[in-house]
């Protein structure tokens, strides 16, 4: 399994609206139980989101809730923090 995914953060009081949670790794509020499309294919590489995560409008994978932080990348993929996605292992 892939590893080194972002871990949980504490919610700054009053920071996010109802139905959102604060993702410290990106320093932004994201929708609780958000959904979205899978990552678009990128040239010369194969990227996926960890199981149950979704592809956000800012072009990186987003967990649907704090409970999903620490989810693993699919087999034969590893977390690429710079890209915010699981990258196929070479």
pTM greater than the 0.85 cutoff: no
pLDDT digits (tens, 9 = 90+) for 16-65: 888 888 888 888 888 888 776 666 665 446 888 888 888 887 888 888 88
pLDDT tops 50 at residue 76: yes
- Tell which wins on pLDDT, 82 or 4: 82
Sequence ranges of the domains in the chain = 35-88
* Intra-chain end-to-end CA distance of the chain, in Å: 14
| pLDDT of the residue at 41 | 61
The residue behind tokens 């994201």 is: 30
Burial class (CB in 10 A: 0-12, 13-18, 19+), 23: buried
């Amino acid at each position: 399994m892939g590893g080194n995914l972002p871990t949980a953060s504490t919610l700054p009081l009053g920071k996010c609206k109802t139905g959102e949670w604060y993702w410290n790794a990106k320093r932004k509020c994201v929708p609780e139980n958000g959904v979205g499309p899978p990552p678009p294919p990128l040239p010369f590489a194969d990227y996926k989101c960890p199981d149950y995560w979704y592809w956000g409008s800012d072009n990186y994978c987003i967990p649907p809730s704090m409970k999903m932080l620490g989810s693993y990348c699919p087999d034969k993929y590893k977390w690429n923090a710079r890209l915010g996605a699981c990258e196929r292992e070479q």
